[in-house]
């Protein structure tokens, strides 16, 4: 079992401890809520069960089997297949931004890619970055690192968000030394 799979299993166990409910009971709560949209279910779990954003998000994916990694496994899709699906249609022109980021991040050292629905999560011992199209004209790079400098380019996210910071990129040329320094700090802090 990879470290990402172990972390996922540990997170599911911790969710059961936090809520005092089994995964089956939690699934029943979700299905009986009548909610079907991921974000609505996640917010209900945060509100009604006191779960944090990450735990609620993981639980929704678990119950609906909706994250890209499990969907890909079910169909036998490769990482390239999933990326082709993420960057399709009007978002196809954004793929060079993703590829340029990954070209540089690959040089940092070992990490794992967890495929999600609509983005990829990059992990060492913990997630250090998320990359995916946020609109048809921009890729969002989310970073988990402490005390990065506040700039007009980087937006600090509220406490409890999936990432500490986000940066929107509209062109591969925006993958510059400043940005890569921030990504490297996130990579180093996750290891």
123 DSSP β-pair partners: 112, 127
Report CA Rg, the chain. 17
Tell me where in the chain the CATH 3.90.1150 domain(s) lie. 79-189
pTM: 0.65
Parallel/antiparallel/unpaired status of strands 165-169 and 139-143:
antiparallel
Tens digit of each residue's pLDDT, the chain (191 residues): 455 566 678 888 889 999 999 999 998 999 999 888 878 888 999 999 998 887 887 888 788 876 555 555 555 666 677 788 889 999 999 999 999 999 999 999 988 887 787 888 898 888 899 999 999 999 999 999 888 877 889 998 888 788 899 999 999 999 999 999 999 999 999 88
Q: What is the CATH number of domain 79-189?
A: 3.90.1150
Q: Distance from CA of residue 153 to its chain's centroid?
A: 20
Contact 54, 157 (CB under 8 A): no
- DSSP string computed for 16-73: HHHHT--HHHHHHHHHHT---SHHHHHHHHHHHH---HHHHHHHHHHHHT-SHHHHHH
């Amino acid at each position: 079992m990879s470290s990402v799979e172990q972390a996922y299993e540990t997170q599911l166990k911790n969710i059961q401890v936090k809520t005092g409910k089994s995964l089956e009971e939690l699934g029943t709560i979700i299905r009986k809520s009548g909610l079907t949209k991921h974000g609505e279910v996640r917010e209900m779990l945060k509100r009604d069960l006191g779960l944090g954003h990450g735990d609620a998000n993981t639980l929704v994916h678990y119950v609906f089997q909706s994250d890209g990694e499990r969907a890909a496994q079910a169909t036998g899709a490769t990482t390239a297949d999933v990326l082709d699906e993420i960057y399709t249609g009007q978002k196809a022109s954004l793929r060079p931004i993703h590829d340029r980021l990954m070209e540089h991040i690959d040089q940092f050292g070992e990490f794992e890619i967890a495929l999600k629905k609509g983005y990829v999560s990059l992990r060492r011992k913990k997630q250090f970055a998320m990359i995916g199209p946020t609109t048809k004209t921009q890729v969002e790079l989310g970073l988990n690192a402490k005390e990065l400098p506040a700039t007009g380019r980087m937006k600090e996210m509220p406490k409890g968000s999936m990432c500490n910071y986000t940066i929107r990129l509209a062109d591969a040329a925006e993958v510059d030394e400043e940005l890569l320094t921030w990504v490297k700090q996130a990579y180093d802090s996750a290891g």
